[in-house]
Amino acid sequence: MSDPLKRVAIVGSGNWGSTIAKIIGNNIVKFNTFENEVRMYVYEEMVDGRKLTEIINEEHENTKYLPGHKFTPNIVAYADVVETVKDADILLFILPHQFVERTCNAIKSHVKPGAFAVSFSKGFYVGKDNTVELLSTAITRLLEIPCYVVMGANIASEVASGTFCEATVGARNYEHGQMVKGLLQTEEFRIVIKPDTEVIEVLGALKNIVAVAAGFSDGLGYGDNTKAAVIRLGLKEMVKFCEEFFPGHHPHIFLESCGVADLVTTCYGGRNRKVAAAFVKTGKDIKTLEAEMLNGQKLQGPDAAAEVKEWLKEKGQANKFPLFTAVHDICERRIEPTALIDALRYHPEFW
Ligand X SMILES: O=P(O)(O)OC[C@H](O)CO
Ligand Y SMILES: NC(=O)c1ccc[n+]([C@@H]2O[C@H](COP(=O)([O-])OP(=O)(O)OC[C@H]3O[C@@H](n4cnc5c(N)ncnc54)[C@H](O)[C@@H]3O)[C@@H](O)[C@H]2O)c1
Neighbours of 40 (CB within 10 A): 28
Name which of 122 and 309 has its Cβ closer to ligand X.
122
239: helix, coil or strand?
helix
Q: Cβ neighbours of residue 188 under 8 Å, at least 6 residues apart?
A: 162, 163, 164, 165
The phi and psi torsions of 25 (rounded to 5 degrees) equal -55, -40
With binding defined as CB under 6 A, does residue 302 bind ligand X?
A: no
With binding defined as CB under 6 A, does residue 266 bind ligand X?
A: yes
Cite the beta strand spans of the chain per DSSP E: 6-11, 34-41, 46-47, 50-51, 75-78, 90-93, 116-119, 124-126, 132-134, 147-151, 165-170, 189-194
Name which of 218 and 290 has its Cβ closer to ligand Y.
290
* Contacts to ligand Y by CB under 6 A: 12-17, 43, 65, 94-97, 99, 120-123, 154-156, 296-298, 300
Least distance to ligand X from the beta carbon of 115, Å? 26
51 is catalytic: no
One residue of 219, 270, 322, 337 binding ligand X per CB under 6 A? 270
Using CA atoms, how far apart are residues 291 and 281, in angstroms rounded to an integer? 16
- The footprint of ligand X on residues 154-183 (CB under 6 A) is 154-155
The reply, when asked if residue 12 is annotated as ligand binding, is yes
262, 154 contact by CB (below 8 A) = yes
The type of residue at 139 is I
One residue of 39, 60, 64, 122 binding ligand X per CB under 6 A? 122
The reply, when asked if residue 13 is annotated as ligand binding, is yes
Least distance to ligand Y from the beta carbon of 296, Å? 6
With binding defined as CB under 6 A, does residue 211 bind ligand X?
A: yes
Give buried/exposed letters for 179-213 (b at 16+ CB in 10 A, else e): bbbebbbeeebebebbbbbbbbbbbbbbbbbbbbb
Residue from 64, 194, 207, 227 carrying the catalytic annotation: 207
Which partner, ligand X, ligand Y, none, binds residue 272 by CB below 5 to 8 Å per kind?
ligand X
Which partner, ligand X, ligand Y, none, binds residue 298 by CB below 5 to 8 Å per kind?
ligand Y
- Helical pair 197-219 and 271-282, crossing angle rounded to 10 deg: 30
Name which of 142 and 299 has its Cβ closer to ligand X.
299
Q: Interface with ligand X by CB under 6 A: which range of 23-31, 125-133, 147-155, 330-338? A: 147-155
Which partner, ligand Y, ligand X, none, binds residue 321 by CB below 5 to 8 Å per kind?
none
Using CA atoms, how far apart are residues 277 and 279, in angstroms rounded to an integer? 5
82, 107 contact by CB (below 8 A) = yes
Which partner, ligand X, ligand Y, none, binds residue 302 by CB below 5 to 8 Å per kind?
none
246: helix, coil or strand?
coil
Neighbours of 230 (CB within 10 A): 28
Least distance to ligand X from the beta carbon of 153, Å? 5
Which partner, ligand Y, ligand X, none, binds residue 211 by CB below 5 to 8 Å per kind?
ligand X
Least distance to ligand Y from the beta carbon of 113, Å? 25
32: helix, coil or strand?
coil
With binding defined as CB under 6 A, does residue 271 bind ligand X?
A: yes
Known binding-site positions = 12-17, 99, 122, 156, 271-272, 298, 300
Known binding-site positions for substrate = 122, 271-272
Residues assigned a catalytic role: 207
Chain contacts with ligand X (rule: CB under 6 A): 122, 153-155, 208, 211, 262, 265-266, 270-272, 300
